Structure 1
Amino acid sequence: MPQPAKRSRIAIGDTTITYLPDGFGAHNPDVLFPGVDWTTRPGRLQDGQLLLSFGSFLICAGDQRVLVDLAVGKIDVDVPGVAHLEGGALLQNLADEGLSAEDIDTVVYTHLHLDHVGWTSDVAPLPNGSATGSPTGLTFARARHLMSQDEWQYWSTRAAAMGGPDAEAVLKPLDGVVEFVKSGDTIAPGVTVEATPGHTPGHLAIVVRDPSGTRTESAYIVGDIL
């Protein structure tokens, strides 16, 4: 039976990419994929629900530690008719890698949908556009917080509309802190960003290569563009 994704790692030369789980959503498959006959896809559902995992990617490149996306945050909530969402394991999985929030040098967002920004501050945004309290600061306070300028400008005028970031829990804590990157920019040794707009106007992919050039393969962290 399907299970939420577990912590796992790949290496490109001396650079590692580790998936850090945060939680999962048990979704109504007919809402996500209307018209699909799931009887022709045995083993894809668990108790009639489609499981989707939430998490972040930790890139360790040289002495730099980068987190790609900040998952869903510490929530346990029903979205009636759509899904049940649970999160909150990211910091523990980071600790299991021997790291704390203070060890993260850079946070880079592929985009600002709510399941990618949940640990931005110490308050998790909820799917109904509200937050669980008033934030007191950024979770990864020592890190640079990067995204495309198009993404910031788009959501700054729309906030939580259509699954976007909560103004109190995400946008306000980032205001004045966020830095903008453009396609081709290097954010860590061998780590660059690539503009992949479509899913959102400022969506980015993160490209990881061996900075020494010894290994020729590359890895793409593609957010939701698939």
Structure 2
Amino acid sequence: MERIVLGDAEIIRVVEWQGPFAPAGVLVPGVAAEHWKENEPWLAPDHWDPSADTCRAALQTWVVRHGGRTVVVDTGVGSGRERPNTPQFHRREGDLLALLAAAGVAPEEVDTVVNTHLHADHVGWNTVDRDGAWVPAFPNAAYLMPAADHAKLAALAGATAPTPAGDVPQTQLDEWRLMFADSVLPVQQAGQAVLWEDEYRIDDALTLEAAPGHTPGSSVLRLASHGERAVFVGDLMHSPVQLSYPTCNSCFCEDPVEAAASRLRILGRASEKHELVIPAHFGGAGAAEVHRAGAGFAITRWAG
């Protein structure tokens, strides 16, 4: 477990998996091969394997403790999920709860779960299987979910062909429906889901803010404590190469124009306010301070 202290806040990084993830040109298709090579000195080996031209990534959860509150930020893939069209996630057997326990975090003490967006690898441990039924994994927590993502998934879950999803492949629609059924709807049925939009203040130190594009409801979580700051950016970036080329999206971004605009805005503020940037999936160090560098940004220091 890696721990970062900011002001009165403790941030704990809980890694379920770390390793090679996808070809660089597939994950961030807008970045040319020569640009990966130009940035090799700081991308390799933790974030990019030049010999295989493969990005390294992590499946991880962040825990924030501040002012007596315990917050879990994103909950990974889950265990035993039916994801037949995503081999990395299909019937995966992980144990985030055991990893949290090793970090000293019991499910009962978690009072807030933040899903930065509602993709399958950010909501899986929202629930656990109890006697054949999916129930909230954190029984005393409010689960903060972006209303825009929930509206999209709820519409798809109740839709019959033709769906309202335009050119989205049927396999993707099927996966979204499975994910909604096992990781989102049970939380709502238990009365623990809080759907929010635009901005949501958790307390004086923690605020959620919409950052759409990756999904309609993608969001970031801002932390401020005694003049020190961090921003949990979810899937705003999948690789640190996107700092150098911030208009380049990952292949998973649903609205490329909005995603790039959100990335530029959030990174710009992080640079100006010296916020520690904490993405969901960086495969080496999990967080970084950044500064402006030409048309993009660069690493001031790594953390976590």
Shorter-chain TM-score category? 0.7 to 0.9
Please tell me whether Structure 1 or Structure 2 has the larger radius of gyration of its CA atoms. Answer: 2
Q: Which letter maps to 1:18?
A: I
Q: Which letter maps to 1:195?
A: A
Moved more, 84-93 or 61-70: 84-93
1:171/1:134 CA distance change after superposition, 3 Å: farther
Moved more, 186-195 or 27-36: 27-36
The residue number in structure 2 matching 1:168 is: 181
The residue number in structure 1 matching 2:200 is: 185
Q: Which letter maps to 2:33?
A: D
Task: Give the drift of 1:46.
Answer: 8.4
Q: Give the Cα separation in 2 of the matches to 1:167 and 1:55.
A: 20
- Work out whether 1:222 is the aligned partner of 2:214: no
The residue number in structure 2 matching 1:53 is: 58
- Work out whether 1:142 is the aligned partner of 2:136: no
Q: Report 1:58-97 matches (<5 A).
A: 58-74=63-79, 84=88, 88-97=94-103
1:200/1:136 CA distance change after superposition, 3 Å: closer
Q: Give the Cα separation in 1 of the matches to 2:124 and 2:118.
A: 10
The residue number in structure 2 matching 1:196 is: 211
Task: Give the drift of 1:105.
Answer: 0.5
The residue number in structure 1 matching 2:11 is: 17
Q: Which residue of 115, 118, 130 corresponds with 1:112?
A: 118
Moved more, 47-56 or 157-166: 157-166
1:222/1:46 CA distance change after superposition, 3 Å: same
Q: Give the Cα separation in 2 of the matches to 1:51 and 1:83.
A: 17
Q: Which letter maps to 1:191?
A: L
Q: Give the Cα separation in 1 of the matches to 2:19 and 2:56.
A: 6
The answer on whether the counterparts of 1:25 and 1:54 sit within 8 Å (CA) in structure 2 is no
1:76/1:26 CA distance change after superposition, 3 Å: farther
The answer on whether the counterparts of 1:112 and 1:164 sit within 8 Å (CA) in structure 2 is no
Tell me how many residue pairs correspond in the alignment: 206
The answer on whether the counterparts of 1:70 and 1:119 sit within 8 Å (CA) in structure 2 is yes
1:28/1:76 CA distance change after superposition, 3 Å: farther
- 1:8-40 deviation per Cα after TM superposition (whole angstroms, max 9, x unaligned): 221221111111112246433143244853883
Q: Extract unaligned runs of 5+ from structure 1.
A: 1-6, 124-132
The answer on whether the counterparts of 2:126 and 2:184 sit within 8 Å (CA) in structure 1 is no
Q: Give the Cα separation in 2 of the matches to 1:46 and 1:93.
A: 31
Question: What percent of counterpart residues are identical?
Answer: 28
Q: Give the Cα separation in 2 of the matches to 1:77 and 1:137.
A: 16
* TM-score for the superposition, normalised by structure 1: 0.77
Classify the secondary structure of the residue corresponding to 2:125: coil
Q: Extract unaligned runs of 5+ from structure 2.
A: 158-171, 238-304
- 1:29-74 deviation per Cα after TM superposition (whole angstroms, max 9, x unaligned): 1432448538834632288343311111111011110111111123
Task: Give the drift of 1:196.
Answer: 0.7
Task: Give the drift of 1:115.
Answer: 0.6
- Work out whether 1:103 is the aligned partner of 2:109: yes
Higher share of residues assigned helix: 2
* TM-score for the superposition, normalised by structure 2: 0.59
1:87/1:50 CA distance change after superposition, 3 Å: farther
CA RMSD of aligned residues (A): 3.1
Task: Give the drift of 1:185.
Answer: 2.4
